[in-house]
Amino acid sequence: MSFVLGTYARKNISFSQGKGSYLYDINGNKYLDFVSGIAVNSLGHCHEHLIKIINEQSKKLWHVSNAFIIPEQERLAKRLTEHTFADFVCFQNSGTEATEASIKIARKYFHEIGKPNKKRIITFKGAFHGRTIAALFAANNPKHTKGFDPIVDGFDQVPFADHETLKKTITDKTAAILVETIQGEGGIKEIPDYCLKGLREICNEKNILLILDEVQCGVGRTGDFFAFEKSGITPDIVPIAKGIGGGFPIGACLLTKKVSIGMKPGTHGSTFGGNPLAMSVGNGVLDIILSDGFLKNVKKISEYFNNELINIKKKYPKIILEIRGRGLLRGLKLAVDNTLFIENLAKNRMLVVKAEEQVIRLLPALIVSKKEIDEQSL
Ligand SMILES: Cc1ncc(COP(=O)(O)O)c(C=O)c1O
């Protein structure tokens, strides 16, 4: 009997310890962890640098209200802006909050520039933006929204990769396009660079903001700090979370100066968002991810990983139909039931997670080694 509300279909495995790419269950069995808390444990489990940082910070200061200037928060915001398109950062605790903050920022921007009717957000089928009430109806997945009506209005959904419908859906009420650069839960579906460029062009033409949800695909997962970087475009707003905390709950919304103008004192807030403990960990994650050669190595290991996946697909062409994704955000589209497949992998001490379209997601830690990748190929 569990007294935890049954909102998850949990596997009957519990872990007591983790180290790098491995997890150890309460019976001492060792698992190769290619879930990484769904792209959260970017530096693997119990990274020495993060242990040191959290130990040191825990002896100094855990939490103060955002009513005060928080130096650790200032530092993380400065570093994030120095390394990205953004001019400002607003801290939250989760991905869904970061996405919601993005929606608020976009709407407030148009309010501020005297276009109060420009408030609707275009989203894409297969999207996932989190579980708060607006994020649910933004993604509009019937599996997640059923029973949670009344519908939260303000979102217009279009099919994935249907440019014509997208163009027809834009009206003078459209404030923003909100899209994951790579759909995670939806089945590891990448927006090709030329489409991202096209989205940017439409946004420029129609005075619409481009919000790229990089909660899952950002913070080094693709080998670039952001997945959109390869396309050469600049978004207006980018929510992140997961990997930036390395296991500590952090969400953040990155934005340009242009769109920041409406966000004055009192327009947004979070009790916990950006507290000293969380921000120290976030800075610790950046110490590693932004260190010389780290992302280059993620790209190199990703290439090796992809080649190994290609080999496995060649070996089992009737089971693996397609390899999707980029970097260390990979999906295998299966011809067989993905849930059963995942259960069998877990019996063989390897952990992966599912996505839509019979896809299994492989999300190794960014510090994964060749040797560990070889283990999954056996
Ligand atoms: C693209 C994307 N956006 C938002 C979220 C929501 O993040 P969180 O669960 O931290 O609220 C997720 C979580 O999987 C995600 O993948």
Distance CA 218, CA 23 (A): 23
Averaged pLDDT for residues 354-360: 98
Q: Is the CB of 356 under 6 A from ligand 1?
A: no
Indicate if the pLDDT at residue 378 is higher than 60.
Answer: no
**What is the per-residue pLDDT for 375?**
87
What is the Cβ-side half-sphere exposure of residue 347, based on CA atoms within 13 angstroms? Answer: 6
Q: Is the CB of 213 under 6 A from ligand 1?
A: yes
Distance CA 183, CA 327 (A): 14
> Which 3 state secondary structure label does DSSP give 25?
strand
Amino acid at position 55, single letter: N
Ligand 1 pocket, mutate which of 121, 215, 237 (most atoms under 8 A from CB): 215
The pLDDT tens digits for 122-148 are 999 999 999 999 999 999 999 999 999
Looking at 53-62, 159-168, 231-240, which range is the least confident one?
A: 159-168
pTM of the model: 0.98
**What is the per-residue pLDDT for 377?**
61
- As beta bridge partners, residue 190 has 182
Q: Is the CB of 236 under 6 A from ligand 1?
A: no
Averaged pLDDT for residues 236-254: 98
Pairing outcome for strands 329-334 and 320-326: antiparallel
Indicate if the pLDDT at residue 169 is higher than 80.
Answer: yes
Amino acid at position 373, single letter: I
Ligand 1 pocket, mutate which of 42, 96, 270 (most atoms under 8 A from CB): 96
Q: Is the CB of 140 under 6 A from ligand 1?
A: no
Distance CA 122, CA 197 (A): 17
**What is the per-residue pLDDT for 195?**
96
The pLDDT tens digits for 302-350 are 999 999 999 999 999 999 999 999 999 999 999 999 999 999 999 999 9
For the chain, the average pLDDT equals 97
Averaged pLDDT for residues 241-257: 98
Indicate if the pLDDT at residue 257 is higher than 70.
Answer: yes
Distance CA 197, CA 192 (A): 9
Q: Is the CB of 302 under 6 A from ligand 1?
A: no
Q: Is the CB of 130 under 6 A from ligand 1?
A: yes
